[in-house]
Amino acid sequence: MTTSGTVFKTFEVCMRSLILTSAMVLATTVPTLAQSIIVAGVDKLAPQFTRVAQTCGKWQYTATERRNNPDPPTNPPAATDQVDRGLKNVALSADPRNKNVRLTLVTDSFFPKDNSYKTFVFDVSLVDPSKDGYAVIIMTDWADNISFDTLTIPATSPALSTTTVDHGLVRIDRTDRKTVTISNTTGQPLSITSIALAGGSSYQVVSGGSPPAFVLPVGGSRDVVVEFKPTTAATGAVNDQLVITSACSSSSIALTGTVGIPRISVDDWNVGNVEQGVEVCKEEGLRVMNNGNYNVVVSKIAFSDPSFTLTDPTDPPMPFTIAGGAQVMVKKACYRSADIGAHVVDVTISSDAYEGDSVSRWTATGVTTDVQEDDATVYSVRYDRASDAFAFRNASPDDDILIFDARGLAVAQANGSVSRIDARSLSSGLYLVARRSHGSTTTETLAITR
């Protein structure tokens, strides 16, 4: 006897011992009931069975209880006559454990005791056709005789190297390719009828697809290359399936990828009115934004009006990258005009954004003071809103200039050698600007308005 035969013989002996023990316990605990049961004849024979291989990893079993002796039984049977009681149950064993199989009852969904089934049909098949299966089937009759069978079912569909392919974030005007492998682990040649996409709008099978149908030899494999090419200007995941169909099954690999779109936008800059010859800078920088979800590379910022300047090299230096959803402050843009009048310039920010370059419009107006030409040497002060500063003209280097708030507290001080005092830290309101020059003091009230 083989090792497996010894194991199952032991298994059968244990089962019979368990049944006998249960019967003895029942007779001991309920003696009146045990003595009142009268069974005609005896049933000492376990169910018989046959099995036939079906297609695609399914086996059909037929269990029978048809060994009456004599046949048909006498009426009433003698005490020693063999009288089959009929089938009580069919099940997969709990130990040894079954693997990747299912049992399906065909004749009926239950086993009656009265008018019991003497013939019963059931199927054992694979759950996952790409993997082998193993089963131990137990058949029991109403006399608690037991038959069992062991069954190994080889896989009937190809094994897949993966069940999910993620292409990740792919720029809309680019492609990404992934390779999956289909292998024949069934132990017999395998006919593959189709390897194709379920949808195909943003994906395509570059190589290894089918039709035409082909036969994958035992142990053979086939590489299938799938390409993701975003085709719509919309962010988000794009999903599809690669479906592999064989003679016995259909399996699929989930495909996913995300459309990446680099987008760029930039703020305009309205400098306002600026005194002729005075420089005003955008100290915090020019904001350049990526409103997409894919990196954008800025390569150049160009404009033609000499009244405007940009730090060269820029900060950060070009080319620079802006991540999706992020922004960069480019430092620093300045305006200084040698003449009076409006200046408007379109600043082109060149990049690899999907929609192309972006344009920022810069505007400013060069102005002169209210001092008449013949009073060009007269001291004057004003609040310059564009630069957010007090601007002075014709102050002497020996002059002391003080600025007081409405409470009379000094909030800023400088000498006459400066042309302006920064007012960005001061709140809006009225201020007194005092000038002490050669023993005399002049004052002027100015308002900060923003």
Between 26 and 388, name the one with better pLDDT. 388
What integer pLDDT is reported at residue 231 of this predicted model?
A: 80
pLDDT > 70: percent of the chain? 88
**Judgement on whether residues 334 and 361 belong to the same structural domain of the protein:** yes
What integer pLDDT is reported at residue 39 of this predicted model?
A: 53
**Residue 399 pLDDT exceeds 80:** yes
**Judgement on whether residues 380 and 353 belong to the same structural domain of the protein:** no
Q: How confident is the model at residue 438 (pLDDT cuts 50, 70, 90)?
A: confident
Q: How confident is the model at residue 291 (pLDDT cuts 50, 70, 90)?
A: very high
| pTM of the predicted model as reported, rounded to 2 decimal places | 0.60
**Judgement on whether residues 249 and 285 belong to the same structural domain of the protein:** no
Which of these ranges, 104-113, 322-331, 411-420, has the smallest mean pLDDT?
411-420
What integer pLDDT is reported at residue 234 of this predicted model?
A: 66
Structural tokens at position 412: 């800023």
**Judgement on whether residues 253 and 284 belong to the same structural domain of the protein:** no
**Judgement on whether residues 149 and 163 belong to the same structural domain of the protein:** no
What integer pLDDT is reported at residue 443 of this predicted model?
A: 87
**Judgement on whether residues 256 and 269 belong to the same structural domain of the protein:** no
**Across 224-231, average pLDDT:** 93
Listed residue (388, 399, 396, 397) closest to 446, CA to CA: 388
What integer pLDDT is reported at residue 24 of this predicted model?
A: 34
Which of these ranges, 10-19, 294-303, 370-379, 429-438, has the smallest mean pLDDT?
10-19
Which of these ranges, 43-52, 135-144, 271-280, 376-385, has the smallest mean pLDDT?
376-385
**Residue 185 pLDDT exceeds 90:** no
Contacts of 145 (CB under 8 A, 6+ apart): 43, 44, 45, 46, 47
- Asked if the bond preceding 211 is cis, omega within 30° of 0, the reply is yes
Domain boundary among 243, 260, 277: 260
- Residue 187 belongs to what domain range? 159-260
Instruction: Indicate the residue type of 166.
Output: D
**Across 329-336, average pLDDT:** 91
Q: 5-28: per-residue pLDDT in tens?
A: 443 444 444 444 443 333 333 333
Between 223 and 19, name the one with better pLDDT. 223
**Judgement on whether residues 253 and 269 belong to the same structural domain of the protein:** no
**Residue 233 pLDDT exceeds 50:** yes
Number of domains in the chain: 4
Task: Say if 381 falls within a structural domain.
Answer: yes
Task: Say if 13 falls within a structural domain.
Answer: no
134: domain CATH number is: 2.60.40
**Judgement on whether residues 293 and 345 belong to the same structural domain of the protein:** yes
Task: Say if 56 falls within a structural domain.
Answer: yes
Domain boundary among 367, 392, 408: 367
What integer pLDDT is reported at residue 442 of this predicted model?
A: 86
What integer pLDDT is reported at residue 117 of this predicted model?
A: 97
**Residue 259 pLDDT exceeds 50:** yes
**Judgement on whether residues 355 and 390 belong to the same structural domain of the protein:** no
Task: Say if 5 falls within a structural domain.
Answer: no
Q: What does the alpha-carbon distance between residue 431 and residue 415 come to, in Å, rounded to a whole number?
A: 18
Q: Tokens 């149950």 correspond to what residue?
A: 89
Task: Say if 19 falls within a structural domain.
Answer: no
> What is the residue-averaged pLDDT of the chain?
86
pLDDT > 90: percent of the chain? 58
Contacts of 425 (CB under 8 A, 6+ apart): none
What integer pLDDT is reported at residue 228 of this predicted model?
A: 95
Task: Say if 62 falls within a structural domain.
Answer: yes
**Across 419-442, average pLDDT:** 88
What integer pLDDT is reported at residue 38 of this predicted model?
A: 37
**Judgement on whether residues 332 and 436 belong to the same structural domain of the protein:** no
Between 16 and 251, name the one with better pLDDT. 251
120 burial type by CB count under 10 A (0-12 exposed, 13-18 middle, 19+ buried) = buried
Q: 311-329: per-residue pLDDT in tens?
A: 989 999 999 999 999 999 9
Task: Say if 403 falls within a structural domain.
Answer: yes
424: domain CATH number is: 2.60.40.3080
Task: Say if 3 falls within a structural domain.
Answer: no
**Residue 426 pLDDT exceeds 80:** yes
Q: 56-102: per-residue pLDDT in tens?
A: 889 999 999 999 999 998 889 999 999 999 999 999 998 878 999 99
What integer pLDDT is reported at residue 371 of this predicted model?
A: 43
- 8 Å CB contact between 326 and 234: no
What integer pLDDT is reported at residue 249 of this predicted model?
A: 86
**Across 369-376, average pLDDT:** 48
311: domain CATH number is: 2.60.40.10
Listed residue (141, 186, 140, 178) closest to 162, CA to CA: 178
**Judgement on whether residues 110 and 145 belong to the same structural domain of the protein:** yes
Domain boundary among 153, 169, 190: 153
CB count within 10 Å of CB 261 equals 23
**Judgement on whether residues 275 and 362 belong to the same structural domain of the protein:** yes
